[in-house]
Each structure stands twice: as structure tokens, then as C-alpha cells.
Structure 1
Amino acid sequence: MLPPAARVAPPLTGRRRWLAAAALGAAAVALPGCVRRPDVVRLAYIDPLSGPAADVGRNGLRTWQFLAERLNADENPAGLRFEVAGFDNKGSPQESLHALRAAIDQGFRVVLQGNGSGVAATLASAIERHNERFPRRGVILLNYAAMDPALTRERCSFWHFRIDADTAMKTQALVTYLVQDTPWRRVALLNQNYAHGQQVSTWFRRKAEEMGEGLSVVSDHLHPAFILRDFAPWVRRVRESGAQVLVTGNWGVDLQRLVDSLKDEGIDLPVFGYYTHLPGIPVRLAAAGRPMAVFQVGASHTNQPGRLGELMQAFARRYQEDLVVTSAYDGLVMLARAMAQVGRSSATDIARQMSGMGFEGFDGPVTLRSADHQLQKGLYINRWQRTDAVHPVGAEGTDHTFAPVRHFDGVAVSQPAQCGMVRR
């Protein structure tokens, strides 16, 4: 059973429009069958809006709200307007349960979450229990960034949909690029000691062994998450290991402080990361005073073309920061297409419609695999470099950008489905 309802955290400041929308969460009523207005569907965003990961969480909330506001016409065939309200979980699984109960009590039936695989697992389990007890008030979880493969494998759920590539898929792309496109074979791993960081280590070792080609891990360390002030001792271990390249799944302040320590220690190893494009990292890289060889594996890049590229530039003009949660675009398009078919009748009907759905994502056709609810999509390897005529948009307003150097289609990075899902 879920714990007693908790209040939604109050807004942190009154300076930005998104905070006003977030504050409405305490009084909001949402889909399905319990909306404030017939044409409005409200989504509950449960992620950190305070604490060490707040900058990432706030950027994600602004992104979902902005895209919900701007996606229309062919992108929203349901003819509904999505509104997103923020619930602050402070990065804690327990606080996430309180936020979930509050959202459910207020009528929300679609939950958005991405910062923390442990939080995603907690929410998915709680939603599974809730939906068994109260099927007429069922809830759906759209996971836009929590990458632990277990969430769509041994811990998969009919109510959980991951709209970002998981760690196994991203590591497949990263390892393939290292083996096929670089001379580097000795790798150091440095990651946060929680589900995501542990999975980055596990999957890199597994994929390196599968690929062969002499790729070896010469250093593999896990550090406490979000409490270290100085990474100097950790990066010295990397240097002493004889590694030719550093791979890290760190994000938030842990990645910011890691970059600072690499600069302070004068360590010039190429860095491959999953989240080097997130808030605060590009400005640090640009301020390094020397070129840093940094690569990022992800589903998009700074100069994304097409409709999403237009929205990214509009977002930057409005908020003076980058739109980096590009998976939100695919999530909203998928939800809108499902609701165009079944309306807002029930979470079960919407989930059934999304399961196995193929649609046009921001970077081409994608499919939400019915076997495990893992979105099948292509990935980029992006390199940090100066802007140029081909890649004119700088990251975080700098004169540097993450430019694609290789693209892998969805088939190349897809992993076998290993999910014993109980379908509804």
C-alpha cells in the first residue's frame, strides 16, 4: 500500500513561468475521466526540483511543459491539450511514493519520471500494486531517462513505458564506436554507486567482452552519489591505471565536479559520457581553457534538424538554456496518438494502444516494442567541438557544440527482449 498522501512541494521561486504551473499540482485534477476541462489532459512530473539534482529536474519539467504547449496539429491528433504539473521527489524513492500518492489522489493518471533508475523501479512497483487494487483508477508511467535495463527485463511492467534508449543499447553504440572508430583499447570506468552507475559498469564489461578486439577495463570504480566535493583522488586513480579513455555514466553535480577535477589535475584523457550535454556541463567544458576530448552517446545532438530542432531553438530563446530531454517529444507524440484512438477511457486502454505502437519520432520512425515496452530507436555518438558552418548552434550559448560523428540505427543497438510481462 502506498504511504499517506503528502503535499506537493511549493515552488522554489516566483521568477519563472514553469514554477507557476508546477505549483498548480496541489490542486490539479487530471486524466482519464477526471479532467478540469474537456480538452485538457494533465500529466504528473515526479522528479527532483530541489537538492543536488534540481537543475536537471527543473530543466526536464520546463521541457515537458514547453513541448506540451507547442505540440499540436499532426503531432497531436487527439486534439487534446497536455499540461504538466511538477511534484518534487527530492531525488528520493520514498519521497517519490508520497508524490505518487498525492498525484493519484488529485486525479492524475499519467506519471512522468526519469532521474534515477531506483526511483523508476519504486514507482513502477507502486503503480503495479495500485492498478491491481484500483483498476478503474489505473496509472501509466512514462520513463523518459531512467536507463537500468532491468526496468524492461526482469522488473518489466505493463504500466511502464521507457521512451529513451536503455544502458544496454547506449553501451552497445559506445563500445562499437570505440572498437571500430578509435585506437583506444584501455578503458577506465568511473560511476556513481547506485543502480544506474552499477549498470553502466556491468554492461560496459559485458559488451566489451562480446565485441572482443582487445578492449579491456583497466580501472573500474564506484563512488558515493551526490556527496563528493572533490573528485581529485578518483581521477588520479584513473591516470595511474594507464587508461587511454574514461567512460562515465555520471550526471548532475557529480559530472560537473568530475569535469572540474579533470581540468584541475590536467588530465587529458578522452571522456565518453551518457550525460555530458546536461545543464552545467557544456559551460564548464567551454571554460576549460584548453580543448577537451569529450564524447556523448544519446538519441539526439545539439544541432538536431527538423521540427525538434525548431523547438530546441525556441526553448533556448525563452529560457536561456538548452532543451536536452528530447525523449519528451516522442513521449507526447506517442500518448497523443494512443488517445486519438481510445480517448481518455482508461489507463488500460491507453497502455494497450501504446504497446507495440510505431510512430514518427523526432529523428525518424520508432517503435514501442510490445514485448517489454522499450522504445526502439537510433543513437548518435556526438563529439564536443567548436561550432562551424555545418553545426552552428552552440551548447548552452557557448561557441562549442556536440556534433554527431556516427549514427547507429535502431536495429544496430536493439537488445533481445527478456521480459515476462503480465499483460492486461
Structure 2
Amino acid sequence: MPYRSRFPAGLALACMLAGGCLSSAASASPAATLAPIRLGMIEGMSGPFANAGEAVEHNIRFAVEQVNARGGVRLPDGRHSLSLTVFDSKQGVEDALLQLKQLTDQKIPFVLEGNSSAVAGALVEAINKHNARTPDNRVLFLNYSAVDPALTNEKCSFWHFRFDANADMRMRALVEVIKSDHQAKSVYLIGQDYSFGQQVAKAARQQLQAARPDIRIVGDELHPIGKVKDFAPYIAKIRASGADTVITGNWGNDLTLLVKAAKEAGLRLKFYTFYANSLGAPAAIGDAGVGTVRAVAEWHPNIADGVQNAASDAFYRSFRQRFPQPKDDYLFLRMDVMIDMLASAIEKAQTTEAAAVARALEGAQYKSKFHEASMRTSDHQLIQPLYVAVMQKLADGGIRFDNEGSGYGFKTERYLAPAATALPTTCKMQRP
């Protein structure tokens, strides 16, 4: 699935407002004659989470196009465009490892993945071994969504960089809201049965105990990932538990079907989620979610009123112009930040060699007119703001944008500055 450049109207404006344009880009000639810098995305493009894979691909292509539109990446021999190749992991570990082999055989220097922490963990181990065996063909792993904290703690790697807040960081943001929600008395934990879902439940228990010891955990359920077609039995358990609040890290169809089952059962609860702002969830929740469903993210279209809105709104509108279908309304800033920071690191390193780019990424800063972030050197965890946002109805006038044409969007309830989201790390990184 080779990359084909398509530059929509307004893309240069979005680049300018985001504040991430490379120096001298305005006068740069197109990087058409030099070999492109290749990126390989390993993701589930088929199976139950194919829509999530497609959504990520759109985000990455949009970010790649922004870099190319401003002239590409400057190396000593001139400017190079970025090129994206997609490898289908079918959301499985073994398939992902097979795709990694194809990627390294093609000598693609940068690996992108994120929709599965289980896959990410396996890729980290495989890349560690590959880079030790083949120092002349080393690769760098850029992780945009796999949020298992172990990846930047006990399993940290010099070759891995995470651009999303980890599960503990996201949970901390949600708990900051829950601890002041005096109506929350009994919480039901439900999640997907793999490393990420297990960590979400663990983090919820630990952080709730510290922040709100009066809250009772009345259920703690893990279900098979991507296999449950009817969540009605789980909703029946939640109802029987007497819970008034649900915490879930579910994503994709597992989240959409969960909240849809709650709606169909007439069970009105507060949902504190990681991902209720995308992939069909707002439409599935509908009116039942207004004022009760919350999501946490590093950015969302309806960030707080103020001067930053002009830049943020232009960024969002340029993406929607590029991908106008309602089902494609899935924009997460961290993926754009990731590609922008990679391009800057390659320029700083003056090479695409993995170790040199990794060293250039360590401690790197990102700043636009509406976002700032820094890559922590000790564990390669991006430190950035987090927003907890609550679902609202567009027609009520409290938000500027809805999600996926659903008529529902999210309004900022709590903003956490970068310093407030950072958590300690246990990483003891081995550097080459």
C-alpha cells in the first residue's frame, strides 16, 4: 500500500498554525528526485478492529502529507519526502512479527504501531534482537497508542519511543475528575483481557484507593478482546452490582458495543473511558451520554475557548477537508506530533540511522500555538497535556464540533498541564 501524495487545500495553513514547519520550508523545492524516507506501519487492517487501523492510517498519512507539503526532510544531500507503507498484522502478535520481518527485509528504518500493547511488547523484544544482530540495518519503533506502562518502565528500550500517555497517566487524569465527583460511590471496572486491559484495572484500583478510599469496587471484569458480539450479559451484571460509575479502557468495537448495550438496556451510568470520543461510540451512546460519558485525550476539537482555538480549529478543519466522510472523523494530535518530531530529529541527526535519530529524539521539544510536548530521555515517554472531556449535544450550543456527524461531541472538563501528567519511571535503559 504505497504512499501517494495528495495535498488538500488548507494544508499549508494548518502546518503554519500548528507551528511545526521545518526551517526554510517556504522556499524549498519539492523533494521529488531523492529517495523517500520510508516509514512502515504495522497495524490491524483486517479483522474486528480494521476500522481502527484504517483510522490510524488516515492520521499518519495526513501527518506525512504535512511534512511533504512544506518541502520534506532536509538531509545533507537535499530534501527527502516521507513515504508510508502499511503492513497488516491482523491485530495478532505472530502476524505482526512476520510483517516486521518483511519491513526489515525492505530496509525500512522506522516502525510505527500502537493499536495493541501485546503487539507492541512483542515488537520491542523482536526489534531489540534484530538491532543487536544487524547493526547495519537497525530500526526505530515509534508507538502512537500502545499504552501498557511496562513499555516505558521495566520493558523500556532505547529503540522504542511512546507518543501517547500511558495507561497510568490516562487513569490519573480520569481519577482527578472522579475524586471530586461526590455522586460516585460504587465503580464497576470492565476491560479487554490482555496486557492493556489488565493494567487499566490495576491502575484504577490503586489510584481510586489513594484518591477516594470511600468508593467501592463492585465489579472487576475482563472479557475476550474483539470477540464479544453482545454485551447485554455484561450490562446485566453491571446493573445487578448496583454500580453508579463504569471505568473502561475498551476501544474500537468493544467500546461501541458495550455502551450501545447499556443504552439499549436503559442503564444510565457515568462512563469514564479512554476512547469514547471516536470510532462510532458517540453515535452509539446518543443522548444517554450527555453529561455522563467522559473521555481522556491529549487534544480534542473543542479545546478551551481562547486564542489557541484559531490554530486548533484550522488544524481540525484541514483534516476534515482531507477526509470528509463522517466515519473518518478520527483525529488524534499525538500522531501528527510523532511524525513532526521524527522529521525534526532526522534533520538534527542529519541521517536516518536509527541510533542517531533516537539520540536526537531524546529530550526533543514540540511546541505549536495550541500544544506542547517533550520526549523524556530516561524512558522515551512523551510528556504532554491531557484533557478530560464530557459528552455534550451539539444542538445545545456548548461545543463547536461534534464527532463523526453524530450530533454529539466533547467539552473540556479538566485540563492537566504536561507537568501534571508526568509519572515516575522505573526504566533502566540500556543504550548502545
Q: TM-score over 0.5 for the alignment?
A: yes
SS in 2 for 1:225: coil
- Once residues 77 and 308 of structure 1 are traced to their aligned partners in structure 2, the CA distance between those partners, rounded to angstroms, is 24
The residue that corresponds to 1:28 in the other structure is none
SS in 1 for 2:331: coil
SS in 2 for 1:419: coil
1:76 CA drift (Å): 6.7
Report how many residues are paired: 395
SS in 1 for 2:180: helix
Are the counterparts in 1 of residues 249 and 274 from structure 2 also a CA contact under 8 Å?
yes
- Once residues 423 and 375 of structure 1 are traced to their aligned partners in structure 2, the CA distance between those partners, rounded to angstroms, is 18
Deviation string 1:209-255 (CA, Å, 9 cap, x unpaired) is 22235233121111111111111111111111121111111111111
SS in 2 for 1:158: coil
Deviation string 1:117-162 (CA, Å, 9 cap, x unpaired) is 0000011111110000111211001100001000001111000000
One-letter amino acid of the structure 2 residue matched with residue 379 of structure 1: L
Q: Would the alpha carbon gap of residues 233 and 417 (structure 1) be closer, same or farther in structure 2, given more than 3 Å must change?
A: same
Q: Would the alpha carbon gap of residues 228 and 153 (structure 1) be closer, same or farther in structure 2, given more than 3 Å must change?
A: same
Are the counterparts in 1 of residues 291 and 390 from structure 2 also a CA contact under 8 Å?
no
**Percent identity among equivalent residues?**
33
Are the counterparts in 1 of residues 392 and 399 from structure 2 also a CA contact under 8 Å?
no
The residue that corresponds to 2:390 in the other structure is 383
- Once residues 291 and 308 of structure 1 are traced to their aligned partners in structure 2, the CA distance between those partners, rounded to angstroms, is 24
- Once residues 371 and 280 of structure 2 are traced to their aligned partners in structure 1, the CA distance between those partners, rounded to angstroms, is 29
- Once residues 412 and 378 of structure 1 are traced to their aligned partners in structure 2, the CA distance between those partners, rounded to angstroms, is 8
The residue that corresponds to 1:338 in the other structure is 345
One-letter amino acid of the structure 2 residue matched with residue 199 of structure 1: Q
The residue that corresponds to 1:113 in the other structure is 113
1:311 CA drift (Å): 3.1
Q: Would the alpha carbon gap of residues 36 and 153 (structure 1) be closer, same or farther in structure 2, given more than 3 Å must change?
A: farther
- Once residues 105 and 382 of structure 2 are traced to their aligned partners in structure 1, the CA distance between those partners, rounded to angstroms, is 29
Q: Which of these residues, 48, 51, 66, is aligned with residue 47 of structure 2?
A: 51
One-letter amino acid of the structure 2 residue matched with residue 260 of structure 1: K
Q: Would the alpha carbon gap of residues 281 and 64 (structure 1) be closer, same or farther in structure 2, given more than 3 Å must change?
A: same
Residue pairs, 1:67-106, within 5 angstroms:
67-71=63-67, 78=74, 80-106=80-106
1:182 CA drift (Å): 4.6
Q: Would the alpha carbon gap of residues 378 and 419 (structure 1) be closer, same or farther in structure 2, given more than 3 Å must change?
A: same
Residue pairs, 1:227-246, within 5 angstroms:
227-246=227-246
Q: Which of these residues, 302, 311, 315, is aligned with residue 311 of structure 1?
A: 315
Q: Would the alpha carbon gap of residues 171 and 124 (structure 1) be closer, same or farther in structure 2, given more than 3 Å must change?
A: same
Q: Would the alpha carbon gap of residues 215 and 306 (structure 1) be closer, same or farther in structure 2, given more than 3 Å must change?
A: farther
- Once residues 206 and 129 of structure 1 are traced to their aligned partners in structure 2, the CA distance between those partners, rounded to angstroms, is 34
Unaligned runs of 5+ in 1: 1-9, 19-34
- Once residues 33 and 267 of structure 2 are traced to their aligned partners in structure 1, the CA distance between those partners, rounded to angstroms, is 56
Q: Would the alpha carbon gap of residues 76 and 203 (structure 1) be closer, same or farther in structure 2, given more than 3 Å must change?
A: farther
Are the counterparts in 1 of residues 289 and 391 from structure 2 also a CA contact under 8 Å?
no
- Once residues 118 and 364 of structure 1 are traced to their aligned partners in structure 2, the CA distance between those partners, rounded to angstroms, is 29
- Once residues 63 and 427 of structure 2 are traced to their aligned partners in structure 1, the CA distance between those partners, rounded to angstroms, is 31
Are the counterparts in 1 of residues 117 and 195 from structure 2 also a CA contact under 8 Å?
yes
The residue that corresponds to 1:3 in the other structure is none
Are the counterparts in 2 of residues 43 and 82 from structure 1 also a CA contact under 8 Å?
yes
1:83 CA drift (Å): 2.0
SS in 1 for 2:243: coil
1:413 CA drift (Å): 2.0
One-letter amino acid of the structure 2 residue matched with residue 192 of structure 1: Q
Deviation string 1:376-412 (CA, Å, 9 cap, x unpaired) is 1111111110125552211101221111111011221
- In the superposition, the TM-score normalised over structure 2's length comes to 0.86
- Once residues 257 and 186 of structure 1 are traced to their aligned partners in structure 2, the CA distance between those partners, rounded to angstroms, is 22
- Once residues 402 and 202 of structure 2 are traced to their aligned partners in structure 1, the CA distance between those partners, rounded to angstroms, is 33
One-letter amino acid of the structure 2 residue matched with residue 173 of structure 1: A
Q: Would the alpha carbon gap of residues 318 and 338 (structure 1) be closer, same or farther in structure 2, given more than 3 Å must change?
A: closer
Larger deviation, residues 144-153 vs 393-402: 393-402
SS in 1 for 2:404: helix
Are the counterparts in 1 of residues 277 and 409 from structure 2 also a CA contact under 8 Å?
no
Q: Would the alpha carbon gap of residues 309 and 141 (structure 1) be closer, same or farther in structure 2, given more than 3 Å must change?
A: farther
Are the counterparts in 2 of residues 329 and 362 from structure 1 also a CA contact under 8 Å?
no
SS in 2 for 1:316: helix
- Once residues 134 and 108 of structure 1 are traced to their aligned partners in structure 2, the CA distance between those partners, rounded to angstroms, is 13
Are the counterparts in 2 of residues 75 and 333 from structure 1 also a CA contact under 8 Å?
no
- Once residues 232 and 329 of structure 1 are traced to their aligned partners in structure 2, the CA distance between those partners, rounded to angstroms, is 37
The residue that corresponds to 2:214 in the other structure is 214
1:36 CA drift (Å): 9.5
- Once residues 241 and 289 of structure 1 are traced to their aligned partners in structure 2, the CA distance between those partners, rounded to angstroms, is 20
- In the superposition, the TM-score normalised over structure 1's length comes to 0.87
Are the counterparts in 1 of residues 283 and 408 from structure 2 also a CA contact under 8 Å?
no
Deviation string 1:66-102 (CA, Å, 9 cap, x unpaired) is 1210246889774542221111100001000111111
Q: Would the alpha carbon gap of residues 312 and 290 (structure 1) be closer, same or farther in structure 2, given more than 3 Å must change?
A: closer
Residue pairs, 1:17-416, within 5 angstroms:
38=34, 40-71=36-67, 78=74, 80-286=80-286, 291=290, 293-304=292-303, 305-319=309-323, 320=325, 321-360=328-367, 363-387=370-394, 389=397, 391-416=399-424
One-letter amino acid of the structure 1 residue matched with residue 226 of structure 2: F
Q: Would the alpha carbon gap of residues 345 and 193 (structure 1) be closer, same or farther in structure 2, given more than 3 Å must change?
A: closer
SS in 1 for 2:428: coil
- Once residues 99 and 224 of structure 1 are traced to their aligned partners in structure 2, the CA distance between those partners, rounded to angstroms, is 24
Are the counterparts in 1 of residues 392 and 398 from structure 2 also a CA contact under 8 Å?
no
Q: Would the alpha carbon gap of residues 377 and 135 (structure 1) be closer, same or farther in structure 2, given more than 3 Å must change?
A: same
The residue that corresponds to 1:420 in the other structure is 428
SS in 2 for 1:263: helix
Unaligned runs of 5+ in 2: 6-30, 304-308
Deviation string 1:339-395 (CA, Å, 9 cap, x unpaired) is 111122411100011012122157432111111000111111111101255522111
One-letter amino acid of the structure 2 residue matched with residue 313 of structure 1: R
1:306 CA drift (Å): 5.0
